[in-house]
Amino acid sequence: MSKMDRYISPTVKAIPPSGIRKFFDLVTQTKGVISLGVGEPDFVTPWHIREACFYSLEQGYTMYTSNSGLPELREEIAIYEKRKIGVEYKPADEILITVGVSEAVDIAMRALLEPGDEVLVPEPCFVSYAPGADLAFGKAVPVPTYDEDEYRLRPDILEKYITPKSKILVLAYPSNPTGGVMTQEDLAALVDIIIKNDLIVISDEIYSELTYVGQHTSIASFPGMKDRTIVMNGFSKAFAMTGWRIGYACGHPDIIAAMTKIHQYTIMCAPIMGQMAAIEALRHGEAEMRKMVDDYNYRRKIILSGLREIGCSCFEPRGAFYCFPSIAISGMNSEDFCEKLLFEEQVAVVPGNAFGNNGEGYIRCCYAASISNIEAAIEKMGRFISRHRKS
C-alpha cells in the first residue's frame, strides 16, 4: 500500500478497476492492431455541425449557459422526444442538459439514492451504472439477461431480484455491449412490475436512433410511466459527437430539479459550444444521421454473417453497433480469448465479462469500423478459431 492510499475513500477503493482499462493497456502495446474494441462511431461529427460550432465561437458564444442548458436546445429536445418517443416534456422544467449521459446517470443516482437503496442493473451492460450506484452510496444489484432471450430483460427474472430496498431500475436499450433491444411488447411486460414496486426507471436511450429492426420504444411512453422514468439521451452515438459531451435528461420536474441542484454545484453547465452544435444537429442533422445509420446497418449484416460463418453463435443484434457472439467454440474464457486473439492475430475485441459477470463466455465486437477492417478481422478470427477449436 502506498503512503497516500489511506486517504482514499473506502467507497472508491471498493470499486473494482475497469476490465476494459486493463485490456486497453494491452492493445496499446501491440502494433498493427485492427480494433473492433471501440465504443464510439467511426465517423467524425458531420461538417455542418462542426461549422455551426465555429460560427457560434465567432459570434462570441463562449460564456456560461443557465444550469439547465440553452433554452433553444431544450426546446429542440422537447420537439425531438415528442416526435421520437411520443412523450411531451416541458423545456422549462422537465429537461436538463448534461455532460453526456454519463453525468445524467451519476446525478440521477445521487439525487435519488439513500444509503442502502438498491439499483437493479440488467447485465451485461455499459460499465458505469454499478459504480454510479456505489458512488451514490446505493447498492447495484445485477439482474442477469441471457443470450437465448437476446439479452432482453425478462419480467420473471426481474421480479426475483426486487426487494423492499429496490428503488431504481436501469434500462439501457439498445444495449451496449450486446446490441439487444426491448420491443414494445417486452417493455409492456415490465410496466406493472415497475409500478407495483414503485421503481424509478433510468432509461438510457443513447443508442435509440441506431435501431435497425422495428421502432425504438421508450418505457416512458407507457401509461403511468412518464413521471417515474428519467429518459436519458444525447448526441454521441446518433450524431457522432462523442467528444462534445452533450447529453440530457427528461423527467418529472421534481426529479429534474433535484438533479439540477447537483449539476449546478458540480458542473455548472454543459459547455456552450457543444450545446450550440447540438442545436444544429437536431435542427438539420437528420439526413446525415440517417446515412450513418444505414452504413452501420450494412456493416452489422456483414459482421453477423462473418461471425456465423467462422462458427461463432450470435443472435441478431437489432440495435447499437455491437455484436456479442459466444466464444464457447474455443473453450476459452473471455479474457484468454481476447488476449490470445490480440497476440496471435492482432485483432482487438473486448471480453464480455468487462460488462458484467454473465458476459463471461462472450466477446463484444464493435462494427463501427470500415468494411475492409471488419472483413480482415473476421478472416483473422476465423483462422484463430480454427486453431483453437475445442476438441
Partner 1 sequence: MELKRKILQLIENDAKLSPRTIAVMLDEDEAKIAAIIEQMEADKVILGYNTVINWEKADGDGAMAMIDVKVTPEREFGFSKVAERICRFPEVRCVYLMSGTYDLSVMVCGETMKDIADFISHKLSTLEQVQSTVTHFMLKRYKQDNLIFEDPQQDKRLVVSP
Query: Within a 10 A sphere around the Cβ of 33, how many other Cβ atoms?
Result: 17
Among 20, 258, 329, 332, interactor with partner 1 by CB under 8 A: 20
Closer by beta carbon to partner 1, 48 or else 154: 48
Query: Within a 10 A sphere around the Cβ of 148, how many other Cβ atoms?
Result: 7
Question: How far apart (Å, rounded) are the C-alpha atoms in residues 49 and 239?
Answer: 9
- Report how many residues bind partner 1 under the rule CB under 8 A: 27
Per rule CB under 8 A, is residue 28 in the interface with partner 1?
A: yes
Per rule CB under 8 A, is residue 161 in the interface with partner 1?
A: no
Closer by beta carbon to partner 1, 127 or else 255: 127
Cβ(300)–Cβ(61) under 8 Å?
no
- Supply the minimum distance, in Å, between the C-beta of residue 109 and partner 1: 17
Among 55, 146, 298, 343, interactor with partner 1 by CB under 8 A: 298
Per rule CB under 8 A, is residue 375 in the interface with partner 1?
A: yes
Among 52, 206, 270, 354, interactor with partner 1 by CB under 8 A: 354
Per rule CB under 8 A, is residue 35 in the interface with partner 1?
A: yes
- Supply the minimum distance, in Å, between the C-beta of residue 301 and partner 1: 5
Among 8, 11, 18, 88, interactor with partner 1 by CB under 8 A: 18
Among 305, 313, 357, 386, interactor with partner 1 by CB under 8 A: 305
- Dihedral (Cα; 178, 205, 118, 148), 10-degree rounding: -30
Question: How far apart (Å, rounded) are the C-alpha atoms in residues 4 and 337?
Answer: 36
Closer by beta carbon to partner 1, 162 or else 366: 366
Per rule CB under 8 A, is residue 357 in the interface with partner 1?
A: no
Closer by beta carbon to partner 1, 48 or else 252: 48
- Supply the minimum distance, in Å, between the C-beta of residue 230 and partner 1: 21
- Angle 211-212-213 from CA coordinates, rounded to 5°: 105
Stretch that binds partner 1, among 1-9, 34-42, 134-142, 324-332 (CB under 8 A): 34-42
Closer by beta carbon to partner 1, 227 or else 309: 309
Among 250, 350, 377, 378, interactor with partner 1 by CB under 8 A: 350
Per rule CB under 8 A, is residue 42 in the interface with partner 1?
A: yes
Among 195, 267, 302, 376, interactor with partner 1 by CB under 8 A: 302
* C-alpha cell recorded at residue 327: 466464444
Per rule CB under 8 A, is residue 312 in the interface with partner 1?
A: no
Residue 34 bridge partners (DSSP):
347
Closer by beta carbon to partner 1, 298 or else 343: 298
Closest CA to 169 of 205, 127, 198: 198
* C-alpha cell recorded at residue 59: 459570434
Give every CB contact of residue 204 below 8 A, 6+ residues apart in sequence: 101, 105, 126, 170, 171, 172, 232, 233
Q: Is 124 exposed, middle or buried (0-12, 13-18, 19+ CB in 10 A)?
A: buried
Stretch that binds partner 1, among 24-32, 207-215, 218-226, 328-336 (CB under 8 A): 24-32
Query: Within a 10 A sphere around the Cβ of 265, how many other Cβ atoms?
Result: 9
- Supply the minimum distance, in Å, between the C-beta of residue 376 and partner 1: 13
Per rule CB under 8 A, is residue 301 in the interface with partner 1?
A: yes
- Supply the minimum distance, in Å, between the C-beta of residue 136 and partner 1: 19
Q: How far is CA 108 from CA 33, 269, 356, in A?
A: 38, 16, 21
Give every CB contact of residue 290 below 8 A, 6+ residues apart in sequence: none
How close are the terminal C-alpha atoms of the chain, in Å? 44
Per rule CB under 8 A, is residue 236 in the interface with partner 1?
A: no
Closer by beta carbon to partner 1, 199 or else 350: 350
**CA-based radius of gyration for the chain:** 21
Question: How far apart (Å, rounded) are the C-alpha atoms in residues 388 and 391?
Answer: 9
Give every CB contact of residue 45 below 8 A, 6+ residues apart in sequence: 239, 240, 241, 244, 277
Task: Report the interface residues with partner 1, using CB under 8 A.
Answer: 18, 20, 23-24, 27-28, 33, 35, 37-40, 42, 44, 126-128, 176, 298, 301-302, 305, 348, 350, 354, 371, 375
